[in-house]
Structures are given as C-alpha cells and as structure tokens.
Structure 1
Amino acid sequence: MTQTNGPLSGMRIIDLTTVIMGPYGTRILADMGADVIKIEGPEGDSFRTYGPFVSAGMGGAILNLHRNKRSLGLDLKDPGGRMAFERLIAQADALVHNLRPAAAKRLGLDWDSIAEINPSLVLCAARGFASDGPYGNKAAYDDLMQAGSGFAALFDQQSGAPRYAPTSWCDKIAGQAIAYSVLGGLIHKVRTGTGQAIEVPMFEVAVDFMLVEHFGAMAFEPAKGPPGFKRQLSLGRKPYRTADGWACILPYSDRNWKDFFAFIGRPELGEEHRYADIGSRVAHIDELYGIVEAEARRFKTSDWMAFCDRCAIPAMPILAFEDIPENEHVVATRMFEIMEHPTEGRYKHLRSPVRFSKTPNTLSRFAPRAGEQTREILEELHLPPEEIDRLVAQARGMRNAPDSVSSPTEEAINPALEKPGS
C-alpha cells in the first residue's frame, strides 16, 4: 500500500457501496488517508457503465470518484469469498454499505452479525429512508429525494410546476453525511474501543438540508405562517444579463446597497426607508432585484466585477463547467492538475477542496479498475495460495478486471503542475 500522512492514515474502511452516494462519502475518507477497500461483485459498480471510456468501466467520473481506493473483486455469495470478506472485516475499522435492511440482514451485514466478527467495527448503513419507518425498504434514487424533500415543490411556487435540479445533490450531501458520521464513529472507537451501528438515510438528510433556512415560520407550533425563505423564492433571484454576458450581482449589506445605488447614478434610493435595512429590504426584495436586473445590462461583466470587488459587494461571473479550469482563482489554487493515469492516460485530477496544514490530503492511488488489487489484498489477509489463485481467477471474470496491477509510485503521481489546456 502506498503510504499517506493524511489524518486517517492507518484506518481501514471497507466500501460496499455503489453509484454516487456511498462512493462519494468513502472518497472523502480516502482523500484523508484511510485505506479504503472497495469491494466489487461480479458485475462491478454499475456507475462504471457510464462513458466515454479509454478502458471499459473507467469513465471520467470514476477517475476522481474512486481515487485513493483499492478495488477487491469478491463474490460474497461464494463461501470462499465470504470467508475472505469476514477476515477483512476482522481487521477493519469501518464498513460502509448501501443495502436496504432486508438485504443487509440476508447477507449478514446487520449489526448483530457484524459484531460477532468485530465488535469494535464502525458499521455505517447508507439508505434511502430510515429503517424504522414505512419507507424503510423502499427503493431510493436522487430524483425521489428531490421530490420528497420539498425541493422540487419550490419550483412550483416560482413557475407553476415542480422540477428537479440537473445534479444529484441529494446523493452528494448524503455522501458528505456518510463521511462525517463515520468520522464520529471512529472517534468513539478510538476513545472507547467499541464500535457501533450508524444509519444515514438520504431522505432525512435531504429534508434536514432543505429546512435549514426554509423552515422559517413553520418551525413554530402552531406555525406563524407558511414555510419558505422569501429572498430565495423571489423570481428576481437569478443571474442577470450584462452588456456582454451573465453575472451574479448580490448587494447584501447596508453599505453594499448604498454603493450600488451610487454606482448606477441613483444615490437617492439609498435614503429610502424601504431599502434602509435588511428587514425592510427583504420585504421589498422583488423591487430590488428588478432594479439590479434592469441596471445590469448597462455595463460589461468585467466592469461589474471590478466595481463589486472594489466595494466588497458579492459578485461572480456565470461560469460554465468548461470555464472553471481556466478561472484565475482555480488556476492559482491548483484545483486541477493534469495527471497521467497508468491505463487511462491524461486526465484532470480534481483535488480535495479541504486542506490540512499538518496532514495534507494527497493522491496516493489512481482510481482502480474493477478488482484491480484483488491479489494484493488477499495476500495481506494471508489466505492459502491456492485459495488466492481461485478467488483471483473468479474476480478476473469481472468487467475489465486485471489479475493485479501495482499502485503508482510517488514519482508517477506527482508530475510537474500543468495549467489546464497546456
């Protein structure tokens, strides 16, 4: 194993999750130095089917989603595969899966079964819904959570029809919840030596996320009015067309608005009572957004940025995905590096957004092909050589699984930084 000095270095986490929610959570843990072993069954992770590819199963999303992990090809229904899995559990610090309660029980992945093997293990079950409710065994996907969390209905208030966001945001915030929940479990384990079962239900995570600001008047009992944060529900809250593009222009404080009114040549608006403080501005937010929209077209985006930055008014040009790698701040902070994957060629490595001064996140392993480290991990478990050969041969039947490929050396994963596009 390539050594890291991340804050979770020395921790071993077994990853039995698929698609986005679980793998994103375990990637956060892997970026912090944990030895994350991703177990893939005969079909591999279904998210591997999305291309385009250089090698089948290694799409662009996989290259960053599964970095810093090792992939073990194992059929848990095979007696030998199950034995290897239980030996792995006995040595692990945490296990994350995304199985519904009935399936977890059937596969012996419930807490009672796991605790017999390793009572100090942190067991995190990532699910669609809390298991003690009527939806406990209901199938769950991101669209369902956007529908059930109140998010989709917000658009009904604005445009007369509910809709989904064009991103799997529920999967991703649930992935973050997995990461912080496992961290909490590991702290408890370090302090007490005992493990515990954790449940992370995506539906409840999404509801909690949505109600942070939208609970409002509905939080009181009885409610003091309808839920919803008025400023965010305003139809005027949107990107504004400038003379040559689009921008977010967001005067916020009292000083921001006075400076904005002076810039557009209407300083008298800063003296009006209805715009004097944040409370009165929220009450008249549609009027204010209308003013910003009308005035935005008078100046170029660069002029707006220069003025807003000079006066500390929050502002940002509208960036498309293609623009982000070339943004001056992104380039300066080295958010992207061009890397050379040993089998997939050059790709953009997106660094972890979190930085530790003493235990930095590093790229210690490139994203593996399905089952790539099967032999390596089985040898660490000290299984009989003939059993290792059998399980490796079985894993080789997985989609694009090699016999064994070594992890990159430290020199191989740290080429000189190249600016995107160079």
Structure 2
Amino acid sequence: MRTALTGLKVVDFTQIGAGPTCTMMLADMGADVVKVEAPEGEIGRTLGPPWIGADAALFHAFNRNKRGLVLDLKAPAGVAVAQRLAAHADVVIESMRPGVMARLGLGHEALLRAHPRLVYCSISAYGQTGPYAGRAGVDGILQADTGLMGLIGAPGAAPAKVQAPIVDVVTGYLACIAILAKLRERDAQGQGGHLDVNLMNAALALQQSALASYLANGELPQPMGSAAPYSAPNEALPTQDGWIMLAAYNGERWPRLCQALDAPELLADPRFGTSPQRVAHRPAMRDALAERLRRHSTAHWLRVLQQADILCAPVASYADVEQHPQVAANRMIASVADPELGSVRMPGFPINSAVSAAMPHRAAPRRGEHSSAILREAGYSAQQIAELEDTGVLGAASLAQA
C-alpha cells in the first residue's frame, strides 16, 4: 500500500497527535505530505521524555514519511508561500483553533473559493461551530469532558484516563477516512470541500456501546476496572503469578470454563446460569473464579484455557508486547533509518501490515529539512528562496538539509 496514494499532495498545518496521525497515515500510503512548522518547531517536538536525539519520541512516532518545511505564517510572505502550496495541493489539513487560519488568509472559505477541487480538513477539540467551538482542548480534556474518564479505573478510585492518547489517534484515523471519502466524491463530482473533524465526536464514538446503554436505560455507568458491564466473565482475574483476561460469557464457553477449572459446582450454581445472571452476581463469580485461578501460573492457565477454546490472554506489559510473536508476524514494531540517529523504532503501519509494503521508509523530518526543495517544486527560484531565508520567513532551521 505504500504507493496507493502516490501523486496525492497534502499540506499539513497540524501538530501534536490527531492531525499528525492523519497525515502520517496518508504519507504511509504514498501521499507527498509537506509538514509546515513555525520557526520554533511544532509543540510535539517538546513533549518528552523520552527523547530520540533532540526531539520527543512522540514526534518521531507521528511524523514519519513526511517532508518538513519551516514557514513563518506571521509574515505576509510566509502566508503567500502557504497559499501557493495550497494551490498545488489536493488536501490541506489544519488543527488550529477555529478562526485562526481564516485570520491568516488560509481559511477554508478563501482557499476553496480559489481552488474548488481542494479537500480542506479542519481538526479541532469541539468542532468548527457551536458554543464550544472556540475552546481549546487536548486528549485528556476530551476524555474528561465526554464521559470516557468516568468509565476508566477501579470502583471508588480517583478518575483515570487512558495513558495512550487514544482520542487523538482515533480522531486522526477518522480524519483520514473522511479525507479519502471526500477525495472519492471529488473525483466523481469535480468538487472538493470542507471537513470538520473533532476530538469530541471521536471520543463519543469510542464510547458507542456505553453511551448507547445509558441512552437506553438512563443508568450512569460506573468504573469497573477490567470488566465489561454487559457480559460475564469478561474481565481480568488474578493467577498465581500475574493476571489473565478471559471472556467466557456466551454459548458453551461458560460450561467449558467450569470444566477446565475443575469447578462443576460453579456450573450448577443458579446465580451463574446465564451471562445476565453472572453480571448480576459478578462479585461472587469473580471470587469463585479467582480462588481457582490463583492455584496455578498464568502460563499454565493459558495452555489449559486455550485447549478448551476459552478466549484468554495475559495482561501484558510493553516488554511482553515487544517479544510477542504475532506482533512480529504483523510487523507492528518497525524501524526507520535516520541519517544521524541510526535506527529509530516505532509502531508500524496498522492496516494489513503483514503483507503490505506501506512500512516506514523515511524518518520524521528535522525542522525545515526539505524547505528549499519544496519551494523549488512550487516554482520559486533560487534567488527567491534565498531572499525568504534572509528575511527569516523560512527560518534559520530551514538551512539544515535542503
């Protein structure tokens, strides 16, 4: 899939997580993504530790396969460069607070008037319209504001969040889907348009089952640790040396689990006859299962339960994930060569990665690494580029590797 989007030109005015995830996916599939940064660089470069060279590991993880351009959009000449880049682009994507791009002369209305076939995607915290449109927000803020944080953690414990920026990443995936769909529509109808993708909608979409349950019965969900509120057993339980996640709530899996645990009395217990009954009596069910599972190691129970066709997995650390044979088979830990840093490891391309050629092949750009080349492609002469550099429009960092 590395060549699937060859020829697609994308101008990327995003930073941190959601927008860079979207443009990284497009770049992984072959699009030419020009990442535009202010002279000081995007904030994602500073979000460490840990660090890889001078930049945060987070920045490397979200910005592979892109080309880098440093541009001062506070200068009219910098805006003019951005407008020329947009004139040659298929897609413009930005993650400024609503209204900022319009004030710069780079808003969707102005650019679409000039270039009707352009697909312009705006990513924001709450959306481009509505009472919260002007509010800034990041992943954790939207985890809190959409109820997601209220689902996570143990009963009675302090609020918790998903450590990985899951709302950012899912927003990026949704933006990528929206852009590809809009490009398909443009090719059929000849007209581009504006896309409004936001973290709030993505966070609510993540909670489809929990929110649907609340809308159905009006009962507020409570944190349940690892358990699923709609089925049991479907949770992590302690073993002799760790934890095992198991799902044995449907069909014949509950009887097979009882047999594998040598616990016929659980199968005969009327409290545990069906999944809804086990949900109603979850504490008693958990105690009974845990008492048996603590007799042996996680490895022992994995062998026994897998032989009984019980869905199960160890509660893994990243050290375990790094050594996971299926992670290796799926090529989900990838390496990309950096001319100064050597081999940089990161998560791989997640779609069909076992057979796809859409693997990382270019390290995240240094600030302005490709500035001169990008401007030459846009029709600027060497003298014009030199003048932009001399006046600081491209920024000193643009001299790094043109």
Q: Provide TM-score, normalisation by structure 1.
A: 0.85
- The residue type paired with residue 56 of structure 1 is A
SS at match of 1:38: strand
Give CA-to-partner distance per residue, 1:88-130, whole Å, 9 cap, x none: 1111111110112221221123222111321111111101112
CA distance in 1, matches of 2:22, 2:138: 16
CA distance in 1, matches of 2:116, 2:86: 10
CA distance in 2, matches of 1:185, 1:266: 56
CA distance in 2, matches of 1:228, 1:332: 37
Q: Corresponding residue for 1:416?
A: none
Identify which of 124, 128, 132 aligns with 2:129: 132
Give CA-to-partner distance per residue, 1:293-339, whole Å, 9 cap, x none: 22221111111111122222111112212222111222233322444
Q: Corresponding residue for 1:250?
A: 247
Contact 1:216–1:227 (CA<8 Å) still a contact in 2?
no
Q: Which moved more, 1:162-171 or 1:111-120?
A: 162-171
Contact 1:22–1:97 (CA<8 Å) still a contact in 2?
yes
Identify which of 37, 54, 57 aligns with 1:56: 54
TM superposition shift of 1:283: 3.0
Identify which of 113, 138, 141 aligns with 2:138: 141
- The 1:165/1:269 distance shift into structure 2, 3 A limit, reads same
CA distance in 1, matches of 2:394, 2:110: 29
SS at match of 1:232: coil
Identify which of 226, 251, 259 aligns with 2:219: 226
- The 1:385/1:155 distance shift into structure 2, 3 A limit, reads closer
Structure 1: unaligned runs, 5 residues or longer: 406-422
Is 1:366 aligned to residue 363 of structure 2? yes
Identify which of 31, 39, 43 aligns with 1:42: 39
TM superposition shift of 1:240: 2.6
Is 1:203 aligned to residue 196 of structure 2? no
SS at match of 2:384: helix
SS at match of 1:100: coil
Is 1:76 aligned to residue 69 of structure 2? no
Contact 1:396–1:403 (CA<8 Å) still a contact in 2?
no
Q: Corresponding residue for 2:318?
A: 321
SS at match of 1:329: helix
- The residue type paired with residue 215 of structure 1 is L
Is 1:163 aligned to residue 156 of structure 2? no
Contact 1:392–1:403 (CA<8 Å) still a contact in 2?
no
- The 1:204/1:391 distance shift into structure 2, 3 A limit, reads same
Contact 2:329–2:354 (CA<8 Å) still a contact in 1?
no
- The 1:332/1:117 distance shift into structure 2, 3 A limit, reads same
Structure 2: unaligned runs, 5 residues or longer: none
TM superposition shift of 1:159: 1.4
- The 1:144/1:51 distance shift into structure 2, 3 A limit, reads closer
Identify which of 102, 112, 115 aligns with 2:112: 115
- The 1:148/1:395 distance shift into structure 2, 3 A limit, reads same
Contact 1:246–1:318 (CA<8 Å) still a contact in 2?
yes
- The 1:238/1:271 distance shift into structure 2, 3 A limit, reads closer
Q: Corresponding residue for 1:301?
A: 298
- The 1:330/1:375 distance shift into structure 2, 3 A limit, reads same
Report the identity percentage: 28
TM superposition shift of 1:52: 4.2
- The residue type paired with residue 221 of structure 2 is G
Q: Corresponding residue for 1:410?
A: none
Identify which of 9, 14, 38 aligns with 1:12: 9
Matches within 5 A, 1:261-280: 261-280=258-277
Contact 1:74–1:391 (CA<8 Å) still a contact in 2?
no
RMSD: 2.7
SS at match of 1:189: helix
Q: Which moved more, 1:74-83 or 1:379-388?
A: 74-83
CA distance in 2, matches of 1:278, 1:233: 11
CA distance in 2, matches of 1:242, 1:331: 27
CA distance in 2, matches of 1:28, 1:286: 43
TM superposition shift of 1:269: 2.4
Q: Which moved more, 1:351-360 or 1:5-14?
A: 351-360
TM superposition shift of 1:160: 5.2
